[in-house]
């Protein structure tokens, strides 16, 4: 065996390079010995690339995407889970509530109409018509709106109303109809109603938390709006339209009746029950009248009144009255002011209305000729009666007229110094034709001669 091995190795060529592990020659001859095999490998690689290119060229985009997703779907699933875990809480807790709140903040909620009617000292009947506008259909659960004064440092609502369930789609009118509400803060209500009486327009603030549904999505929103509402403007235009003396007076003292104008410049209907007013000439109280079942829609409102004119006060203080009437008389008018006395509903005093009107004074001017005509018609009822005889029958003598004329005579020079027009002036104690011309004119108007 050993000789055989040696014999085999005797053919080993010492200078032949060793064969590489890949079947080639040694370092010196590696390039030449492997050259044919490399050319074969390059050809096969080129063929493989061409086959792949040909295969890729035959795939559509959808097939490529499907193949890509099929290979990497697991990574996409992990990415989607991570994205959802981050985005969905932001969507439901931040984005949607922000969108809902933005829509609520953009609402103007104008007050188109409404009414505030006093029922008892502690309750009101409230109606409001407003509107909402949304770019998306939405449903709103019932919510409580608190009405308050924004100028009050602390949130102090004076009443609250309930908004019914609503479906809002685009511009939608909202009706809060005849809700009986309890006054929760009388001081704040007095403050707000004072502005309603005094100003041309007043602000009304509302606040509430709303639960809103956008399809299946649910979100909460906060409403805090302040709107401007036209108001009473001090009853500008208030005036006695017609007044008639009732002689003889009734047993309860009623001796005057007529109509007066109660204007409402605002958007809200106001109901305050039976309103009693003091009639004032200067600082002197000369009468008390009552207007019944006062309900004031927007615009001018003629209302019947009756009451008592204090004739004894008039006679005893004629000088003081004429002094207070000097400016109005120079313009051909009589000025009769009114202040609140009492406001009563079903026998109960409405405190918050009295707290306002009893400290307000409204001015009414009546042309002297009109007032004279009304008063004379009270006595004559359209018959042809001698004025001096009528006055003598009513007052017992002519003392009242004499006092009026004597006052005009003694004060005429002072008034004339201030204005170009001066009142009638006759000698004291004389009832001349000039003094009675005013009454005659009223008589003629009553008889249809003017």
* Tens place of pLDDT per residue across the chain (450 aa): 444 444 444 444 444 455 444 444 444 444 444 444 545 555 555 555 565 555 555 778 777 778 877 777 788 788 888 877 887 777 777 777 777 778 777 778 888 889 999 999 999 999 999 888 877 788 888 889 999 999 899 999 999 999 888 888 888 888 888 899 999 999 999 999 999 999 999 999 999 998 888 777 778 888 888 999 999 999 999 999 988 888 788 988 899 999 999 999 998 999 999 999 999 999 999 999 999 999 999 999 999 999 999 988 988 998 888 888 888 888 888 999 999 999 999 999 999 999 999 999 999 988 888 888 877 777 665 444 444 454 454 444 445 545 544 544 444 444 444 433 333 333 333 334 443 444 444 444 444 444
Joined together, the tokens standing for residue 95 give 């984005």
Joined together, the tokens standing for residue 163 give 């908004």
Neighbours of 233 (CB within 10 A): 17
Distances 392 to 314, 389, 402, 433, 437 between C-alpha atoms, Å:
17, 5, 12, 16, 17
Distance CA 226, CA 287 (A): 42
Q: Are residues 299 and 235 in contact, defined by beta-carbon separation less than 8 angstroms?
A: no
Distance CA 321, CA 404 (A): 10
Q: Are residues 295 and 270 in contact, defined by beta-carbon separation less than 8 angstroms?
A: yes
Residue 37, class by beta-carbon neighbours within 10 Å (0-12 exposed, 13-18 middle, 19+ buried)? exposed
DSSP state of 93: I
Domains of the chain, earliest start first: 58-106 (no CATH), 109-231 (2.60.40), 234-446 (no CATH)
Residue owning tokens 């007032």: 371
Distances 286 to 256, 281, 309, 335 between C-alpha atoms, Å:
12, 7, 6, 12
β-pairing, 268-281 with 113-120? Answer: parallel
In sequence order, the 6+-apart residues with CB closer than 8 A to the CB of 175 are 127, 128, 129
Distances 253 to 287, 336, 374 between C-alpha atoms, Å:
11, 20, 20
Q: Which of 268, 241, 227, 254 is nearest to 110 (CA)?
A: 227
Neighbours of 167 (CB within 10 A): 10
Distance CA 316, CA 262 (A): 31
Distance of CA 213 to the CA centre of its chain: 26
Residue 93, class by beta-carbon neighbours within 10 Å (0-12 exposed, 13-18 middle, 19+ buried)? exposed
Q: Which of 365, 245, 416 is nearest to 314 (CA)?
A: 245
Its pTM surpasses 0.75: no
Distance CA 439, CA 404 (A): 13
Q: Which of 238, 147, 228, 231 is nearest to 197 (CA)?
A: 231
């Amino acid at each position: 065996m050993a000789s055989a091995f040696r014999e085999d190795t005797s053919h080993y060529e010492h200078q032949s390079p060793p064969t590489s592990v890949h079947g080639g020659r040694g370092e010196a001859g590696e390039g030449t010995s492997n050259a044919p095999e490399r050319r074969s490998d390059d050809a096969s690689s080129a063929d493989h690339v061409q086959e792949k290119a040909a295969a890729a060229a035959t795939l559509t985009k959808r097939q490529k995407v499907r193949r890509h997703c099929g290979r990497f779907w697991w990574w996409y699933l992990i990415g989607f889970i991570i994205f959802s875990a981050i985005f969905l809480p932001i969507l439901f807790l931040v984005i949607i509530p922000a969108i809902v709140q933005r829509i609520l903040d953009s609402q103007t909620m104008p007050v188109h109409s409404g009414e505030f009617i006093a029922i008892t000292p502690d309750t009101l009947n409230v109606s409001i018509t407003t509107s909402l506008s949304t770019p998306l259909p939405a449903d709103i659960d019932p919510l409580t709106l608190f009405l308050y004064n924004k100028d009050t440092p602390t949130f102090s609502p004076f009443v609250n109303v309930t908004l019914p369930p609503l479906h809002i789609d685009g511009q939608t009118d909202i009706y809060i109809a005849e809700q009986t509400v309890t006054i929760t803060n009388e001081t704040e209500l007095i403050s707000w109603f004072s502005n309603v009486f005094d100003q041309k327009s007043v602000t009304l603030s509302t606040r509430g938390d709303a639960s809103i549904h956008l399809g299946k999505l649910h979100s909460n929103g906060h409403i805090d709006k302040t709107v401007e509402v036209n108001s009473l403007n001090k009853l500008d235009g208030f005036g006695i339209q017609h007044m008639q003396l009732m002689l003889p007076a009734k047993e309860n003292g009623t001796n005057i009746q007529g109509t007066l104008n109660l204007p409402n410049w605002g958007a809200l209907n106001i109901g305050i029950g039976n309103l009693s007013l003091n009639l004032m000439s200067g600082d002197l109280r000369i009468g008390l009248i009552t207007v019944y079942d006062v309900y004031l829609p927007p615009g001018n409102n003629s209302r019947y009144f009756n009451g008592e004119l204090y004739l004894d006060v008039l006679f005893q203080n004629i000088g003081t009255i004429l002094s207070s009437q000097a400016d109005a008389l120079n313009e051909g008018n009589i000025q009769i002011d009114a202040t609140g006395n009492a406001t009563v509903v079903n026998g109960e005093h409405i405190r918050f209305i009295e707290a306002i009107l009893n400290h307000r004074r409204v001015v009414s001017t009546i042309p002297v000729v009109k007032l004279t005509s009304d008063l004379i018609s009270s006595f004559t009822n359209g018959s042809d009666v001698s004025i001096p005889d009528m006055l003598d029958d009513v007052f017992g003598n002519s003392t009242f007229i004499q006092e009026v004329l004597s006052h005009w005579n003694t004060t005429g020079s002072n008034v004339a110094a201030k204005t170009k027009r001066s009142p009638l002036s006759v000698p004291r104690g004389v009832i001349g034709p000039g003094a009675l011309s005013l009454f005659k004119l009223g008589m003629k108007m009553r008889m249809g001669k003017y």
